[in-house]
Amino acid sequence: MSAEVRAAGRWPLADHREADWLRELTADDGLTGFMPPGLPDAAWVLHAMYEHELGPADVSYREYRRAVLNGRGAELAPDLDPAEVLGHPTGEHPGPRWHRRRWAELARRFGDPTVPEGLFPCRTSFPSIPSGAWPAGLQAPAEGHLERADWNRLVDLLTAHSPRGADTPCLAYYSPLLRLAEFEVHIRAGVLGDAKDLYDHPDEDRWTPSNLWARDRTWVTCTDYDLWATKVAGPAALVESLLGDAEVEAVRLPWAA
């Protein structure tokens, strides 16, 4: 059975009213996702960044892409291969010559805070990089969704900190912005042990859910459509496990708790 068929069978659509408690909790319409408060604690999983082994080029990704389309890519960045830099699959590791870089590592290199105080992790992060000038050879974090590896690890940690483990009933909310053609909300019901399959759901275009929560509301995640990080709100033990994990990079943001 393919991952797509398995996901479609195990995560059917649920009633839209299942998200009413989040609307009330956040006093929001959920257009970009419902951002929960700490319940009672929270951490932010920072979305993955990758650096090409040749390092960042002295040209922005946007300028490099335009130059490649005009046949001038080799003039601007002769050492980069356009096939490696442009057009890799969303949510997957970009390739063998790319290496993951932690936000804290790059922040020290650029002289920036890991996340500027008072702000959410998003395009305003790394203020030393001018707006719209993210360099080719340094892949910016994905906006509005987790990379597959981080999604899988998050599911593992949620499973370890849920009383019913893999059998924990869950609901997954997808913002209408993720389905611009129909502009409709999707809520899907399943169990936590099948949550990794959501990455391959044929009707969700490889987006991770805007919100995933245990039906008993022990914890809830939020991957806001406009942000470069996923908030996880829940028990202190879950948050501590995220902060200490070697695979995902997570931080506390007191101003966004």
Mean pLDDT for the stretch of residues 110-122? 96
Residue finishing a domain among 114, 139, 164: 139
Q: Is 251 helix (H, G, I), strand (E, B) or coil?
A: strand
Co-location of 250 and 127 in the same domain: no
**Lowest-confidence region among 62-66, 227-231, 245-249:** 62-66
pLDDT of amino acid 28: 96
Phi/psi of residue 51, nearest 5 degrees:
-120, 135
Decide if pLDDT at 5 tops 70: no
Token pair listed for 10: 């195990």
In the prediction, which pLDDT does 6 show? 80
Same domain, 86 and 206: no
- Averaged over 197-208, what is the pLDDT? 91
User: Structural domain tally of the chain?
Assistant: 2
Rounded CA-CA distance 151/206 in Å is: 11
Asked whether residue 35 falls in the same domain as residue 64, the answer is no
Is the domain of 163 the same as that of 226?
yes
Could you tell me if 42 and 155 lie in one domain? yes
Q: Where are the beta strands (DSSP E) in the chain?
A: 41-46, 49-52, 98-101, 138-139, 169-174, 186-191, 211-214, 220-222, 229-234, 249-251
Question: Do both 132 and 182 map to the same domain?
Answer: no
Please indicate, yes or no, whether residues 42 and 156 belong to a single structural domain of this protein. yes
76 and 160 share one domain: no
Measured distance CA(239)–CA(256) in Å, rounded: 14
Q: Are residues 75 and 127 in the same domain?
A: yes
Per the structure, the complete domain to which residue 153 belongs is given by: 3-46+144-256
User: Same structural domain for residues 127 and 167?
Assistant: no
* Same-domain check for residues 246 and 198: yes
What is the rounded average pLDDT for all residues in the chain?
93
What confidence category does residue 1 fall into, taking pLDDT thresholds of 50, 70 and 90? low
Q: Do 78 and 33 fall within a single domain?
A: no
Show which of 81, 115, 139 is a domain's final residue.
Answer: 139
Structure confidence by residue, pLDDT tens digits, 22-75: 999 999 999 999 999 999 999 999 999 999 999 998 899 999 999 999 999 999
Per-residue pLDDT of 16-36, as tens digits, reads 999 999 999 999 999 999 999
Please check the confidence at residue 242 and state whether its pLDDT lies above 70.
Answer: yes
Domain stops at, among 110, 139, 168: 139
